[in-house]
Homo-oligomer: A and B are copies of this chain.
Amino acid sequence: MNTQFPAERILLGPGPSPVSSRVLRALGAPTLGHLDPQYVAIMDEVCEMLRQVFQTKNALTFPVSGTGMAGMECIATNLIEPGDEVIVCINGVFGGRMKDVMERCGATVHTVDAAWGDVFTKEQIAAALDQHPKAKLVGIVHAETSTGAHQPLEGLADIVHAKGALLVVDAVTSLGGHELKVDEWGIDAIYSGTQKCLSCPPGLAPVSFGDRALAIMDGRKTKVQSWYLDVSMLRKYYTAGGGGRVYHHTAPINMTYALREALAIVLEEGLEARIARHAQMHQRLRAGLEAMGITYVPKHSLHTLNCINIPAGADDAGTRKRLLEEYGIEIGAGLGVMAGKAWRIGLMGHGASVRNVDLVLTALKNVLK
Chain A positions near chain B (C-beta within 8 angstroms): 1, 3, 5-9, 11, 13, 15-16, 18-19, 24-25, 27-34, 36-39, 41-42, 45, 65-70, 72-73, 77, 97, 100-101, 103-105, 193, 195, 201-203, 223-228, 247, 249-255, 257-258, 324, 330, 335
Contact = CB atoms under 8 A, between A and B. Distances in A.
Given A68-B249, A202-B34, A225 B105 contact: yes
A42, A203, A251 pick with most chain B CB within 10 angstroms: A203
B11 A31 contact: yes
Given A226-B104, A227-B101, A201 B33 contact: no
Contact of A330 (B13, B36, B228): B36
Count of chain copies: 2
A232 to B, nearest CB: 12
Contacts of A201: 31, 252-255
A30 B16 contact: no
A30 B8 contact: yes
A203 B254 contact: yes
Interface of A is mostly: loop
Contacts of A225: 104-105, 225-226
A141 to B, nearest CB: 15
27 contacts: A3-B42, A3-B45, A8-B30, A9-B30, A9-B31, A15-B250, A16-B31, A16-B34, A19-B30, A24-B29, A24-B30, A24-B31, A27-B27, A31-B195, A34-B202, A65-B70, A67-B249, A67-B251, A68-B249, A69-B250, A70-B228, A70-B249, A101-B227, A104-B225, A202-B250, A203-B252, A254-B258
